[in-house]
Chains A and B, each alone.
Chain A
């Protein structure tokens, strides 16, 4: 069954990788906020211009004194910074486009220039930029006839369709003021579209997506359940090398990461300019280590009092007196044992049997792995203790009971035993 699951998991991984390649090579690699015809190259106008153009691929809705012009047109604009055409907004003209946005922080960048033939000659046509009618940023008022870049950061509360618009703001009588705009680009919050399903300390992983930016930002792993570590900034790439692309990056989890239990974690990236991505969820598997369970974590559920003296984990009677005396030193368990017991039937007195029961529980992903049991460390006198079978059986249990059956023969004597539990669990996490 587990083999089948492994095959399924492998196939899923291969499929995911194949899909990621397809994703990467397809036109749909563009981010959700891609602006259609952001450089106003459609329709092709040569050195002409057109008010309120419509048609396939134009993307924008032009209203009033707005349209597209080509280099060398009668508008006299400086050459387009992106392609060979720009938009123009004259008077109160507007251009708008409905775009699918992801929620989060965005940046609008646009190139703008004033018209050299404005009336009055030095007049400006400030452009108001809005999302769904709400102005974002300051008015764009290019003072130069050469194109200059403008950026406006803004935020989208809800993913979905929203309308971006540019609108002229001045149309006084006797004035003819225009502004050219070009190279409209919206950079959305980074989106992770593919990432790892499992993470370990020291594991290299990569994430695919959009809008990671040109310069390396940061990769963060959030551990909601901690307990010792809740957030980890992952070094980009493998040690000392920077691996960062606008839609692809990778990092290596700290090899010494400890104090974290197995859990679902959130992987996010933050761009150089501080935009945080959606969370990609993966299962984190901590480094597993083995330890001995200390005696302090074992509870004596029942310590049979069948013999003359009885003790379990040194709880009970260890100082009773037998007619011929007995050695009281070295009664099991020793300090390093997880548990142990001792039953003494004075010589010639008792033939007895009983069952001692111990219990123990673990937390934070720790489980019991094995039980070592010894009844040979002391010189038994007519007594036996059988190797206990834990309930439930090991390994894998997080809570167990350990019944130990003991017996002292007809001529009395004593029995002692000691057990050692090995447990495994996440490194640096208490059990």
Chain B
């Protein structure tokens, strides 16, 4: 589960109703709710120290947003087109496989039919009005 990894240096964090300007937040032990409340209420120029690195809240946010940028719609569209193309290729392959099998079996059945029809004619069996 979630583990708190930052601590705040100021005890008042989480209770202020106005943004806290220019107050340092030092990473240490702090529960998640406390951390969230503290950072949320801090001003953009508040320095937050995490694992020895000090940056303002605005700098940390810029980095985080950059890292968690949303899916690229253009790239998603391209992937979707690729998937559709793969599906179409698969269907073409399936068609070819099935057509090939049916073609072979039809050729065999037609040859057999003609042979049987020849026997019917040669043995004088009752041949219908229509014949191959």
Residues of chain A lying within 8 A (CB to CB) of residue B35: 323, 348-349
Question: Are B80's CB and A334's CB within 8 A?
Answer: yes
CB-nearest residue of chain B to A381:
B67
Task: Assess whether B5 is interfacial by the CB under 8 Å rule.
Answer: yes
Question: Are A327's CB and B68's CB within 8 A?
Answer: yes
Main SS of the interface on chain A? loop
Question: Are A206's CB and B68's CB within 8 A?
Answer: no
Residues of chain B lying within 8 A (CB to CB) of residue A289: 91, 94
Question: Are A326's CB and B102's CB within 8 A?
Answer: no
Interface 9-mer from A17-25, A44-52, A143-151: A17-25
Report the minimum CB–CB distance from B128 to chain A (whole Å).
5
Determine the distance from Cα of A4 to Cα of B106 in the docked complex, in whole angstroms: 23
Residue of A252, A325, A331 near B61 (CB, 8 A) is A325
Question: Are B71's CB and A330's CB within 8 A?
Answer: yes
Question: Are B70's CB and A372's CB within 8 A?
Answer: no
Determine the distance from Cα of A204 to Cα of B4 in the docked complex, in whole angstroms: 72
Q: Known contacts A291-B87, A349-B35; is A29 also within 8 Å of B60 by CB? A: no
Determine the distance from Cα of A352 to Cα of B132 in the docked complex, in whole angstroms: 75
CB-nearest residue of chain B to A291:
B87
| Band of interface residues on B | 35 or more
Question: Are A326's CB and B64's CB within 8 A?
Answer: yes
How many CB-defined contacts (below 8 Å) exist between A and B? 195
Report the minimum CB–CB distance from B100 to chain A (whole Å).
11
Residues of chain B lying within 8 A (CB to CB) of residue A201: 102
Determine the distance from Cα of A267 to Cα of B64 in the docked complex, in whole angstroms: 69
CB-nearest residue of chain B to A255:
B102
Interface 9-mer from A33-41, A129-137, A241-249, A274-282: A241-249
Determine the distance from Cα of A29 to Cα of B113 in the docked complex, in whole angstroms: 16
Residue of A29, A242, A345, A377 near B2 (CB, 8 A) is A345
Q: Which of B44-70 contact A (CB under 8 A)?
A: 50-51, 57, 60-61, 64-65, 67-70
Residue of B65, B76, B112 near A206 (CB, 8 A) is B112
Interface 9-mer from A53-61, A70-78, A208-216: A208-216
**Interface residues in chain B, defined as those with a beta carbon under 8 Å from any beta carbon in chain A:** 1-6, 27, 32, 35-36, 38-40, 50-51, 57, 60-61, 64-65, 67-73, 75-76, 79-80, 83, 86-87, 90-91, 94, 98-99, 101-102, 105-106, 109-110, 112-113, 115-117, 119-120, 123, 125-132
- Other than the given A237-B132, A247-B125, A308-B2, 20 more pairs (CB < 8 A) read A206-B112, A208-B116, A215-B128, A243-B113, A243-B132, A244-B130, A246-B127, A248-B113, A291-B87, A322-B36, A323-B39, A329-B70, A344-B68, A349-B5, A349-B6, A351-B3, A374-B79, A379-B67, A381-B64, A422-B90
**Interface residues in chain A, defined as those with a beta carbon under 8 Å from any beta carbon in chain B:** 17, 20-21, 24-25, 29, 196, 198, 200-206, 208, 212-216, 237-238, 241-248, 250, 252, 287-292, 306-308, 321-332, 334, 336, 344-352, 372, 374, 377-379, 381-382, 410-414, 416, 420, 422, 424
